[in-house]
Structure 1
């Protein structure tokens, strides 16, 4: 009986189209979902998040994928995606699926918001690890192994043509592209420039360091969140405040998560502007969320951020300034 080893997913660096030109790059669409490694063995599928949490109970419809590998045991890498009515990946639609574990609630959500697993890499096949093989060989093995089904598929990839693929991603309303060197191995648990993501939707993971009470219709709840990201020295840098994009259910969940984490002083490694620090409730920096934003200012602050949702599949240390500025230094001029 095959016992599959545990893997950590390989991560992509943030980059630009100019850095991924040439015939030795493969291009994939970037799916606006949640990363998951799928362990297919013994007639079942086990799903593990990017930070090693078992998310299998959240997506029972993906269990049918156990019969799609022709009886082979395998470790797949991919993205769990929910599509909106227009057929576009919707992170907002996926939100209730990501955090729900109650079987009755999950069963209702399966009917209302079904998900699809987009498998884009193969790490292990039966008794053999394949992570050392080139990208093109792993993709060929994957395409020959996994039979597409109603709730899973192997999305296409393109040889070169990063600019055209990026333009297509924008026209289709997708998040961007991921470019991968064709000859590169899979590097478990590492972030590498051999995988480079180019976004046309500006979004980033952040750590909540505090919140300000709301007024008016938000009286008694959260008015805005004070958010940060870790710099290369390990300091939590203040990157702005976000007060839009919340639903009532999001605000309730945030209060429940943040109330036990209250602390007397700010967790940021720098002073928060006085107008934002006034009346703030500081919290331990343990809760990760995602925001969408217009641009980054010269001092490393997010302009016009909007809340997208909690990211329980992320660890606080993964929310870094390198995801906001490729050089990771808020002191440098911001890049778009």
Structure 2
């Protein structure tokens, strides 16, 4: 179940639950005594990438299905850039797990034993989730608040967090649906499809200068701008390695690309999904001041549309 991006919190504050928004990778956890599956939004099992979360199997005495966010912490706050070093590693070494540990922040309980809780209201699901007592590293149950959304949003800003998720107190869990949950972000983020790159200049003359970005709009791939900041040298090399095998001779977009971009662009199949931070949308539908945050292997290109 996904949340709709909204610019403001709901007015009928007393009818909503508020949670802090965690900057990580969404995962539904299927927990049994004999194993764990961590299913991403594109239906891939991420459990081998995060072996420390196998501790879940010893924390619960009955089979459960949980919903939550995998995060990597820096100075006590989720750091999406830090998580990047774990997201692409199928079998991490012990050294990587020790140097960049992750945690699982659980915010919903979908099944407990033989009982489905999907039709139960939010408050009932949270009550049963808290009964499980999941508050031992690396698995935690963050708090929620009934009403008081403005205070929660203010706290998220003060703590440098991504924003707030608001959920109707009576809402069931609707798999595959976007809404009635809503999210209000302190910083705007947008999932993007990488459809090509342009060469760099100066010290990046032999490297990627910017990525050519798009989103789907009614099944048409629409150009939304380029991003040329926010990269580390390692991320540029990784992107070059991933883009080289999927190069193509022609422009993959269904909408117009500025001539200045087309003249120098190296086109690729629109297969890689990433994420950028940005200030706002321009009147012609382009990203203003985008900055690269990293690849999103947990997302499929066809899932990427503009978040208004």
TM band (smaller chain): over 0.9
Distance (Å, rounded) in 2 between the aligned partners of 1:269 and 1:188 = 31
Distance (Å, rounded) in 2 between the aligned partners of 1:60 and 1:184 = 33
Aligned residue number for residue 38 of structure 2: 47
SS in 2 for 1:174: coil
Contact 1:39 1:76 in 2 (8 A): yes
**Once the two structures are superposed, what CA deviation does each residue of 1:254-309 show, in whole Å capped at 9, x if it has no partner?**
11211121122222221111112221011111110000111111111111101010
**Once the two structures are superposed, what CA deviation does each residue of 1:44-77 show, in whole Å capped at 9, x if it has no partner?**
32211111111111111111121222x1100000
Contact 2:21 2:163 in 1 (8 A): yes
Work out the number of aligned pairs and report it. 308
Aligned residue number for residue 33 of structure 1: 24
CA shift at 1:215, angstroms?
A: 2.2
SS in 1 for 2:196: strand
Distance (Å, rounded) in 2 between the aligned partners of 1:97 and 1:253 = 14
Question: Of the candidates 151, 167, 185, which is equivalent to residue 172 of structure 2?
Answer: 185
Are 1:199 and 2:185 matched, yes or no? yes
Aligned runs of 1:92-107 on 2, under 5 Å? 92-104=81-93, 107=94
CA shift at 1:21, angstroms?
A: 3.7
Q: Mean alpha-carbon deviation: is it higher for 201-210 or for 258-267?
A: 258-267
Distance (Å, rounded) in 2 between the aligned partners of 1:23 and 1:300 = 36
Distance (Å, rounded) in 1 between the aligned partners of 2:171 and 2:35 = 30
Contact 2:20 2:163 in 1 (8 A): yes
Structure 2 portions without partners, runs of 5+: none
Question: Of the candidates 37, 62, 75, which is equivalent to residue 72 of structure 1?
Answer: 62
Contact 2:33 2:62 in 1 (8 A): no
Aligned residue number for residue 270 of structure 2: 285
Aligned residue number for residue 161 of structure 1: 148
**Once the two structures are superposed, what CA deviation does each residue of 1:60-108 show, in whole Å capped at 9, x if it has no partner?**
1111121222x11000000001111x2111001100111112342xx21
Question: Of the candidates 58, 78, 93, which is equivalent to residue 89 of structure 1?
Answer: 78
CA shift at 1:128, angstroms?
A: 1.4
Are 1:274 and 2:264 matched, yes or no? no
Distance (Å, rounded) in 2 between the aligned partners of 1:74 and 1:102 = 25
Aligned residue number for residue 302 of structure 1: 287
Are 1:112 and 2:99 matched, yes or no? yes
Q: Relative to 1, partners in 2 of residues 1:22 and 1:236: Cα closer, same or farther, differing over 3 Å?
A: same
SS in 2 for 1:133: coil
Distance (Å, rounded) in 2 between the aligned partners of 1:252 and 1:20 = 47
Give the strand-richer structure, 1 or 2.
Answer: 2
Are 1:214 and 2:200 matched, yes or no? yes
Distance (Å, rounded) in 1 between the aligned partners of 2:140 and 2:46 = 19
Aligned runs of 1:120-269 on 2, under 5 Å? 120-192=107-179, 194-231=180-217, 233-269=218-254
Contact 1:292 1:305 in 2 (8 A): yes
